[in-house]
């Protein structure tokens, strides 16, 4: 089932995460999903269910992959809960919007692809009963999704609940839950939204537990489960990473030779990444290991390549800078100008770009990108991007087109190197390619570009001298 709302801020995350936690507490295997590119909500979903939070995004991966990726993630689960994004019908906007596709990549779009029933979460804090019903009626009638029930959120009293419940039920829709205003259920937030669960794990675990208890006491879980059970079977085969990797000239899937070790940055400062990216690297022949730039003083033994995803390094700039041994080790691996190390493959997105810069908010970083400094900006940069590679890199080839997104409140000076990585319509050249290092603000879901995993692994194998 899909948990949606008329607008952002209505309580989707509260209800979706609470449902996941409540059903998991019942002993059900719950598969958690998030519509759109967001990294943060899936972290809370993972805590609630014990399974990786997965994203479903037609823009990042294509319409054709939404159902296969869903089936891949939901294998072995009793129930799948999909948290929507923004308002139910809000899709890709601006330059990323496909012609004639106003709800493309919206929650409604994904719900239609999955043929899944929708639970509509309505913030009733500033409306009486019949106005709430009118809103529900409009959203149920507007598109072709099946709204199967309503959860009323932020109710003020028993009388308020009764008015809203009766008005909605007159439409022939069940009210599956009614939540009061609960400050205790709030999740911590900062300038880009919620604080990632991995940053404050103890607090996040407690928050998820509270959400599960709140939803269990406020919703008819049996009725919700019955609604989810009304979703018809999906005939499309599950996505499998090795089946989507490109074959070489000899018809071999994945890279041949040894099994290079690719170190992926993690820990509180680097929490953003799609699980499928790592699965593709493993299918292409890599061994994926984790390291924490806040605490580990060296790269993992035998590292043949490094991937540094997104996160909030600006919140940890001083601590990242203080770990000088790792900064020097990474600079040596990437072949920074003041090292004698042989350049190794490095792929970095957003937070990774900041970490590879010379400075971040005045704090020394790795210096892999000499002369590049990063600072906080007054405005948030957020949106889908249709990008084209303007330079060959460790993953891309000139002229290749990709779909990604930006999500940051920092800027770099300069904004790109003499060999930039990408170009898209809303800006000039963007990012940096330096030897076998590529770094930019562009976030990519590699299920849409599986060849990137093959190329990264092959570059790592070449670096380790293992190519055959």
DSSP strand pairing (2-4 vs 118-123): parallel
Indicate which CATH number applies to the domain containing 178: 3.40.50.300
Please indicate, yes or no, if residue 455 is contained in any of the structural domains.
yes
Q: Final residue of a domain: which of 178, 200, 229?
A: 229
Q: Give yes or no: residues 289 and 189 share one domain.
A: no
Q: Give yes or no: residues 281 and 218 share one domain.
A: no
Q: In terms of residue numbers, what domain contains 388?
A: 241-463
Q: What number of residues does the chain have? A: 468
Please indicate, yes or no, if residue 234 is contained in any of the structural domains.
no
Q: Final residue of a domain: which of 229, 249, 279?
A: 229
Please indicate, yes or no, if residue 105 is contained in any of the structural domains.
yes
Q: Give yes or no: residues 304 and 381 share one domain.
A: yes
Q: Is 423 exposed, middle or buried (0-12, 13-18, 19+ CB in 10 A)?
A: middle
Please indicate, yes or no, if residue 235 is contained in any of the structural domains.
no
Q: Give yes or no: residues 362 and 305 share one domain.
A: yes
Residue spans of beta strands (DSSP E) within 198-349: 261-265, 287-291, 303-308, 346-349
Q: Give yes or no: residues 147 and 249 share one domain.
A: no
Neighbours of 386 (CB within 10 A): 16
Please indicate, yes or no, if residue 377 is contained in any of the structural domains.
yes
Please indicate, yes or no, if residue 351 is contained in any of the structural domains.
yes
> Does the pTM exceed 0.85?
yes
Q: Give yes or no: residues 225 and 245 share one domain.
A: no
What is residue 244's predicted lDDT score, i.e. its pLDDT?
85
Q: Which of 164, 350, 437, 460 is catalytic?
A: 350
Provide the domain count of the chain.
Answer: 2
Q: Final residue of a domain: which of 184, 204, 229?
A: 229
| Proportion of the chain in helix, strand, coil states, percent, rounded to 5 | 35, 25, 40
Q: Give yes or no: residues 13 and 134 share one domain.
A: yes
Q: Are 3 and 11 in contact (CB under 8 A)?
A: no
- Of residues 367, 361, 371, 363, the one with CA closest to residue 411: 361
Q: Give yes or no: residues 33 and 146 share one domain.
A: yes
d(CA 391, CA 373): 22
Please indicate, yes or no, if residue 307 is contained in any of the structural domains.
yes
Q: Give yes or no: residues 136 and 12 share one domain.
A: yes
Please indicate, yes or no, if residue 236 is contained in any of the structural domains.
no
Q: Give yes or no: residues 221 and 267 share one domain.
A: no
Q: Give yes or no: residues 288 and 188 share one domain.
A: no
Q: Is 175 exposed, middle or buried (0-12, 13-18, 19+ CB in 10 A)?
A: buried
Phi, psi of 179 (to 5 degrees): -110, 140
Q: Give yes or no: residues 167 and 315 share one domain.
A: no
Indicate which CATH number applies to the domain containing 296: 3.40.50.880
Per-residue pLDDT of the chain (468 residues; tens, 9 = 90+): 999 999 999 999 999 999 999 999 999 999 999 999 998 899 999 999 999 999 999 999 999 999 999 999 999 999 999 999 999 999 886 555 555 457 899 999 999 999 999 999 999 999 988 999 999 999 999 999 999 999 999 999 999 999 999 999 999 999 999 999 865 555 544 333 456 666 566 788 899 999 999 999 999 999 999 999 999 999 999 999 999 898 654 455 555 567 999 999 999 999 999 999 999 999 999 999 999 999 999 999 999 999 999 998 989 999 999 999 999 999 999 986 666 556 899 999 999 999 999 999 999 999 999 999 999 998 888 899 999 999 999 999 999 999 999 999 899 999 999 999 999 876 789 999 999 999 999 999 999 999 999 999 999 998 866 443
DSSP strand pairing (429-430 vs 432-434): unpaired
d(CA 308, CA 291): 10
**Residue position matching structure tokens 């308020």:** 160
d(CA 354, CA 374): 6
Active site residue 164: no
Secondary structure element (H or E) that encloses residue 82, with its range: strand 79-83
- What Cα–Cα distance (Å) separates residue 135 from each residue in 77, 131, 132, 171, 227? 33, 6, 5, 11, 21
d(CA 115, CA 102): 19
């Amino acid at each position: 089932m899909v948990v949606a709302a008329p607008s952002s801020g209505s309580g989707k995350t509260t209800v979706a995460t609470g449902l996941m936690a409540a059903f998991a507490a019942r002993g059900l295997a719950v598969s958690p999903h998030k519509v759109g590119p967001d990294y943060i909500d899936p972290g809370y979903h993972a805590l609630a269910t014990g399974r990786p939070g997965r994203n479903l995004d037609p823009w990042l991966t294509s319409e054709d992959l939404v159902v296969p990726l869903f089936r891949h993630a939901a294998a072995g689960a009793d129930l799948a809960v999909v948290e929507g994004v923004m308002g139910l019908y809000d899709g890709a906007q601006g330059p990323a919007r496909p012609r004639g596709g106003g709800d493309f990549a919206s929650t409604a779009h994904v719900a239609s692809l999955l043929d899944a029933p929708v639970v509509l979460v309505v913030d009733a804090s500033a409306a009486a009963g019949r106005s709430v019903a009118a809103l529900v009626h409009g959203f149920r009638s507007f598109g072709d999704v099946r709204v199967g029930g309503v959860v009323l959120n932020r109710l003020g009293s028993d009388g308020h609940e009764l008015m809203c419940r009766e008005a909605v039920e007159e439409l022939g829709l069940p009210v599956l839950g009614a939540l009061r205003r609960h400050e205790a259920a709030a999740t911590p937030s900062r300038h880009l939204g919620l604080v990632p669960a991995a940053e404050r794990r103890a607090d996040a675990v407690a928050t998820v537990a509270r959400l599960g208890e709140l939803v269990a006491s406020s919703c008819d879980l049996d009725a919700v489960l019955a609604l989810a059970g009304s979703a018809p079977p999906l005939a499309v085969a599950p996505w499998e990473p090795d089946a989507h990797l490109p074959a070489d000239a000899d018809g071999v899937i994945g890279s041949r030779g040894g099994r290079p070790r690719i170190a992926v940055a993690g820990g509180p400062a680097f929490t953003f990444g799609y699980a499928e990216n790592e699965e593709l690297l493993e299918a292409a022949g890599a061994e994926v290991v984790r390291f924490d730039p806040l605490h580990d003083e060296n790269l993992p033994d035998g590292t043949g390549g490094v991937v540094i995803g997104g996160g909030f390094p600006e919140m940890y700039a001083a601590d990242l800078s203080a770990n000088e041994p790792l900064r020097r080790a990474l600079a040596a691996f990437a072949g920074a100008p003041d090292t004698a190390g042989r350049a190794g493959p490095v792929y970095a997105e957003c937070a990774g770009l900041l970490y590879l810069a010379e400075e971040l908010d005045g704090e020394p970083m790795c210096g892999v990108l000499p002369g590049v400094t990063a600072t906080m900006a007054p405005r948030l940069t957020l949106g889908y991007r249709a990008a084209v590679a303007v330079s060959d890199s460790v993953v891309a080839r000139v002229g290749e087109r990709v779909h990604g997104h930006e999500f940051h409140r920092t800027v770099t000076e300069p904004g790109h190197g003499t060999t930039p990585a990408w170009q898209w319509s809303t800006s000039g050249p963007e990012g940096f390619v330096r030897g076998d290092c590529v770094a930019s603000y562009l976030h990519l879901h590699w299920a849409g570009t599986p060849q990137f995993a093959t190329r990264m692994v092959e570059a790592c194998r070449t670096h380790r001298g293992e190519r055959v």
